[in-house]
Chain A
Amino acid sequence: MDLALALAATGADDVSDPSDFPESFGILRTLDRTLRCPICKDLFNAPVLLGTCGHSFCSLCIREALKEGEKKECSACRVPTQESSIKKNIVLEESVEAYKTARSTVLALANDTASRKRRREDSTNGADLTPRPKRVKRESSGQDVDLGDERLEESEDSEVEIIENSKAPVDCPICDQKVPATRINAHLDEGCPHESVPEDKGKGKAQWAILLGGPGGKKGAKGGRRGSGRERDRSSSPPPRPLAKVSYHTLSNKQVRGLLQDQCLSESGDRKQWEQRHAQWITVYNANLDSSKPKSVDQLRRDLERWERLKARDEKEKEARVSRVDAKGYEKSQDEHFAKLIAQARASAKGNPNTIRQGASSEKPIEISSDLEMEPESGEAAQATVHIAL
């Protein structure tokens, strides 16, 4: 039933989702959702703000959207905009980075609490249960419970309970060591030294205190994690300038090659590929400038090569579809975790009458004319495509 949990268990956890959190922690799902880019649905990566409307996206996401889209407009609200309105959203980046660090801890605590709650509700008189006279019992009704209210009623009680029941320290998101929750910020700042987990009876309380903004959390909130400011101190050299957009149609072949040479980019392929490669380079390069932890230019070049490979693969695949060659040989290589994901989702979808099962694919192959293969360049062209199909 719970796909997200199943995924986490198989290790295919780089696809994360607000629903990773138990249903009873609706507010954590909401928090998780608000820190995600509306375009890639992932946690913000180098977030930027559009000065024209105030919406935020990953720098790369909105730059791609402005490059690929027919109109220069905000993807969320359609207010007209342009690259020059893209501004770094520093506070959001700090929030997201802090959240990324805390997420696995929060998730572990939430799951822990949810399962303990279930267990307690299942066994009325378990041996490990100390009577809790003031405890307000909640039915796990399957709908989101507003923990905000629950916390007011129960926060004290929850803390007490965890002190006595939680033996689990926190997994460091970087080095996977078990680290006392009280030390996790310091541990990260010190660059993951070896930790010996002390028998700290009060650690559960500290875990919750961090989440609830109590005394244990002060240090983190004050910006202990931001100690990474060391790496950020780039005041010594002036910040690199963004690359300017180019109107390729005014340039000769030689000039376009010159642009590629200036950026140490490959000159393989035809003129169209040069232009696409260069335009994509400008996009990823400028997006990288918006990150406080920018990738090396070498890494960006490798990303660009990867981008071209994916694009080439997609176009090859399109040709295969047009000539109706079986797509069996389609490369599986880099998508293995996705296959796992599909398997999990299929398993969890069993018995759901709304879901098409794999068997459905054995029906007649879908034929798509080459006309339909093309993406609509404009509304008009799209209309035309539709009318002349097949």
Chain B
Amino acid sequence: MHTNPTSLREPNSKSAQEPASSRPAAGSVTKRLGNELMGLMMSGSPGISAFPKTDANLFDWVGTIEGVAGTVYDNLKYKISIHFPSNYPFVAPVIRFETPCYHPNVDLHGNICLDILKDKWSAVYSVTTILLSLQSLLGEPNNDSPLNTEAADLWNNQEEFKEQVLRHYQPIATDD
């Protein structure tokens, strides 16, 4: 599906005529990610966060989502991974739950079924949009297109559902 980059001209060779000061072309994914990080930090939306995993790789972020009070996910904090393609934001990022999440629209590997990450993606969406959508998906699953059919069937029995949620849940390791 992806082209093999080895047949490309040496991608790292700096062409001599390129002015050192020139910035990436407008719409550069780097700049957009910088804007998003700033927006996320400044918005201070409760219960969500995301950050580049390492300084060296801007395209892989780690985030957290906290369950909303009044849902079975209340007080639970989930870790997610976010990978941005080079043609982001024109193509959606790839998002997975890293903390095991028992949910009708999340499979056992953490893959998520959410329309805005698939065919309903739009370039105007941002990490903030996605995290808020995931947060509300926790409390309001779409049981019509489940990835975890067992969870979807159990949803109407909230007490038993919560038991399953807690059985699968693993708190995010607090290292150091």
Contacts and interface: CB of A to CB of B under 8 A. Distances in A.
Interface of A: 3-4, 7, 14-15, 17, 19, 38-42, 45, 58, 60-61, 64-65, 67-70, 75-76, 78, 266, 268-270, 272-273, 276, 284, 302-303, 305-319, 327-328, 330-332, 334-335, 337-339, 341-343, 345-346, 348-349, 352, 354-356, 358-363, 366, 368, 372-376, 378-379, 382-383, 385-387, 389-390
A60 B26 CA distance: 8
Contacts of B41: 3, 345, 348-349
A159 B139 CA distance: 52
A302 B64 CA distance: 39
A368 B94 contact: yes
29 contacts: A4-B42, A15-B34, A15-B35, A17-B35, A38-B124, A42-B26, A61-B26, A64-B27, A76-B124, A269-B7, A272-B3, A303-B25, A310-B28, A313-B11, A313-B86, A314-B59, A315-B2, A330-B57, A331-B12, A342-B52, A345-B38, A349-B41, A349-B51, A368-B96, A375-B92, A378-B119, A382-B119, A386-B111, A386-B113
Size category of the binding interface on chain B: 35 or more
Q: Is the interface of A mostly helix, strand, loop or mixed?
A: helix
A129 to B, nearest CB: 32
Given A40-B26, A354-B49, A276 B3 contact: yes
A330 B11 CA distance: 13
A67 B25 CA distance: 17
Interface string B5-47: 1011101100101100011111111111111111101100011
Contacts of B79: 356, 360
Of A273, A313, A315, A373, chain B has the most CB atoms within 10 Å of the CB of: A315
A356 B62 contact: yes
B53 interface: yes
Contacts of B22: 302
B173 interface: yes
B69 interface: no
A341 B147 CA distance: 38
B49 A355 contact: yes
B43 to A, nearest CB: 8
B126 A14 contact: no
A361 B8 contact: no
B141 interface: no
B175 A374 contact: no
Contacts, number: 236
A17 B38 CA distance: 7
Contacts of A389: 107, 109, 111
Interface of B: 1-5, 7-9, 11-12, 15, 17-18, 22-39, 41-42, 46-60, 62-64, 66, 79, 81, 83, 85-87, 89-92, 94, 96, 98, 107, 109, 111-113, 115, 117-119, 121-124, 126, 147, 172-173, 175-176
Nearest to B83: A368
A61 B90 CA distance: 9
B44 to A, nearest CB: 9
**What 4 pairs between A and B have smallest CB-CB spacing?**
A314-B86, A68-B90, A379-B119, A303-B25
Given A41-B39, A361-B62, A372 B25 contact: no
B52 A318 contact: no
Contact of A374 (B1, B35, B122): B1
Nearest to A332: B56
Of A17, A270, A337, A378, chain B has the most CB atoms within 10 Å of the CB of: A17
A315 B18 contact: no
A318 B63 CA distance: 20
Given A317-B59, A338-B33, A362-B175, A390 B11 contact: no
Contact of A40 (B5, B27, B112): B27
B27 A68 contact: no
A133 to B, nearest CB: 37
Contacts of B87: 64, 68, 311, 375
Contacts of A266: 9
Contacts of B118: 376, 379, 382-383
A386 B147 contact: yes
A322 B124 CA distance: 29
B27 A354 contact: no
Contact of B27 (A60, A316, A382): A60
Given A39-B123, A334-B24, 5 more contacts: A64-B27, A65-B90, A314-B86, A342-B51, A349-B41
A330 B62 CA distance: 18
Contacts of A361: 53-54, 62
B26 A312 contact: no
A156 to B, nearest CB: 32
B111 A310 contact: no
Contact of A302 (B18, B111, B176): B18
A308 B11 contact: yes
Contacts of B34: 15, 337-338, 341
Contact of A356 (B8, B32, B51): B51
A337 B121 CA distance: 29
A345 B51 CA distance: 9
Given A75-B122, A330-B56, A341 B38 contact: yes
